[in-house]
A and B are shown apart, each in its own frame.
Chain A
Amino acid sequence: QSALTQPRSVSGSPGQSVTISCTGTSSDIGGYNYVSWYQQYPGKAPKLMIYDVAKRPSGVPDRFSGSKSGNTASLIISGLQAEDEADYYCCSYAGTYTYWVFGGGSKLTVL
């Protein structure tokens, strides 16, 4: 069982917006502003999409955004495109004992 809780699946139609939630505790998400999100296609390595809760690495479309409230972080994908269909994982820094924890992943289906 993963340390962070994500919905197993989410879906949306092209052009719509979807939100993927990631729930942790005050020891990880709630305690630090170090949440990151990764996109993973089948058989491929994950790709960093969001870091430090809401920052985007160079080259990531601004359709991807992140936020956090309390112990829950969210990845928001607006203007959904077929190419966004993938698995998405959240990750949070969790202090100097556990260090980093991941969510179980959410499969995004573009209808």
Chain B
Amino acid sequence: QKEVEQNSGPLSVPEGAIASLNCTYSDRGSQSFFWYRQYSGKSPELIMFIYSNGDKEDGRFTAQLNKASQYVSLLIRDSQPSDSATYLCAAYGQNFVFGPGTRLSVLP
């Protein structure tokens, strides 16, 4: 069974801090990895994707991938209350496998 695991949270950080979200995956055949943000009652929104080992930065977001450890992370710098949402990690091999999501709460 191909799985993606995430800490369900909630993860609470103060406004302006760095939020760190982690994800592990079981399928070594996974080729690409995605982070989605989902606000309550809304559909998931693609934030970042990463294919290669290392870091990828986009504005306040940095995705990190370590294929040897089968580990993906998302860092959110200068966290804002509007970042409060559930963050879904997904791994793509033959199809998408999503983690259960981590609920992030940014406190003003």
Partners in one complex: no
